Structure 1
C-alpha cells in the first residue's frame, strides 16, 4: 500500500493547495492560532541556528516568520502552487523539491537546522528523507519535527504504527480528497531520530489552552 498511499498524499496537496493557503492566511485553524504556530517558532528560535531548512514549507508562513527573525531560511515543497505563491511575497527563499530529491542531494547546500512542521505524513518517503539529513546538516546540526501528538491522534484505534484514513472535518468545503497518513507511536518517532544519527535533546508537548490536552508533539534532535 505504501506507494499508492504516498502518491495520494502528494496528489491531495496538489488539489488542496489553494484552499490550504486561504485557511492559513485567514487563520482558520484554531489549534495553530492558539498553540502550534507559536510552539514551532519558539522551538526553532531556542536552538540559535543561523541557517534553516523548512521541509514541506507549504505556503511558507514559517519560512517567512523565521526570516523576519534574522535567520537564513530555505523553504522547500513538492507543490508548485505553494512555491509560486511564496516566491511572489518576496520574503524568504523557496525551492521546489520532493523529499526524494532532497534525499538525493538536489539542494546542494548545508544547514544548521532542519524543521518539519506538520509535514511528515508518509512512511517510506519520511524514512528516506530523515536518513539523508545528516549529509545536509552541519556538525552538531539539528532536526525539529512538530506533529500530531500520537496519544491524541490515535483516537479509538489500536496504538500501533500504520496507515490511517483522514478527513477534512472542521475545514471549509473547498477541501477535497483527504489523503491517508502514516501513524507513528511516540517510541517510533524517537526511533526514527535515533536510527538515523540523532540524539533526542528534548520532547515538547504544547497544551491546547481550551482542552488541556497536547495539541502536538515536538521532537528536537541533535546530530551525534
Structure 2
C-alpha cells in the first residue's frame, strides 16, 4: 500500500518502524533536550494542576505515565503503536491502551480525567484537529488540556513562518533510526485558533529555555473548556 509521504498515515507508519530505537533512546537518556529541559517541564505543568486522574495521549514508551503514577496519580496511557504501549505496560504502566486519534475522535475512549496531556504527540493535521474537538468530552469539570510541542519560532528554522507539512529528520539520533516521520507545522496563532475552534481557551503558556543557549526548546499550552 502506498502512503502519502506527507500525511497523518505516514507519521504512524514511521513510528511503527522506529518504536524500538525510540524506546531505547528515551530510556538511556539519549535525547539532550528532554534530559535537560522538556521532561521536567511537562511533568511540572501536569503536577501544577494537582490532578487525581490523567490521560496521556501519545504516551510512547510510558515515561510520563510512570512518573505521574509515582506521584500517586491515576493514569490512562494511550498510543496508536502497539509496541510502545506494550513497553509502557511492561515497565509498570497500569492502564495502557492502543487507540488511534481517529478512534478517540469517534468516542472510543470512554472516560474523563482532570488532565489530558499531549507531550510532543500532536504531529499530524486532520488527526490532531479531530482529536482536539474531542478533548472537552474527555475533561472533567475544571479540567485542563496540556500540550507540549516544538516551539514554532525555533522549529520553523529558515522556512517561512506559515502552517504546512514539513519533512522529518532524525538528525542527532543514531543509525538505528530510519524513515523519519513528517510533521505538520503550526504557528502559535494556529495553535491558539485550533484550540478555540475546539471549544477550548488558553489559560497559560510556558516557554521552557535551554540552560546553555537560553533559547526556548518547546512551548507548553494549558487550556480549559470554554464556558
TM-score scaled to structure 1, two decimals?
A: 0.97
> Which among 56, 61, 64 is matched to residue 62 of structure 1?
64
Which of 167, 170, 173 is matched with 1:168 structurally?
A: 170
Task: After superposition, give the CA deviation of every residue in 1:95-151 in whole Å (9 maximum; x if it has no partner).
Answer: 111001111121211111100000000001000000011111111221000000000
**Using the alignment, how far apart are the partners of 2:157 and 2:90 within structure 1?**
39
> Which structure 1 residue ranges, 5 or more long, are not aligned?
none
1:138 aligns with 2:167: no
Tell me which residue corresponds to 1:185.
Answer: 187
Length, aligned pairs only:
224
Query: What 5-or-longer segments of structure 2 have no aligned partner?
Result: none
Aligned equivalents of 1:195, 1:88: Cα separation in 2: 38
Please give the alpha-carbon distance, in whole angstroms, between the structure 1 residues aligned to 2:20 and 2:35.
19
Please name the residue that 2:40 is paired with.
38
SS at match of 2:180: coil
CA gap of 1:186–1:2, structure 2 versus 1, over 3 A, is farther
Distance 1:4 1:183 in 2: 12
Partner of 2:85: 83
Give the direction of change, closer, same or farther, for the CA distance of 1:133–1:92 in structure 2 (3 Å limit): same
Structure 2 distance, partners of 1:39, 1:164, is 25
- Equivalent residue, structure 2, for 1:22: 24
Aligned with 1:116 (options 115, 118, 134): 118
Partners of 1:21 and 1:199 in 2: how far apart?
33
Instruction: Please name the residue that 2:213 is paired with.
Output: 211
Equivalent residues of 1:63, 1:92 under 8 A apart: no
CA displacement at 1:90 relative to structure 2:
2.5
1:48 — aligned with what?
50
User: 1:89 Cα shift?
Assistant: 2.0
Name whichever of 2-11 and 12-21 sits farther off.
2-11
Give the alignment partner of residue 196 of structure 1, picking from 195, 198, 209.
Answer: 198
What is the TM-score when the length of structure 2 is the normalising length?
A: 0.96
Equivalent-residue separation in structure 2 for 1:39 and 1:2 (angstroms): 34
- Cα drift, residue 205 of structure 1: 0.2
> Do the aligned residues in 1 keep the contact of 2:5 with 2:182 (CA within 8 Å)?
no
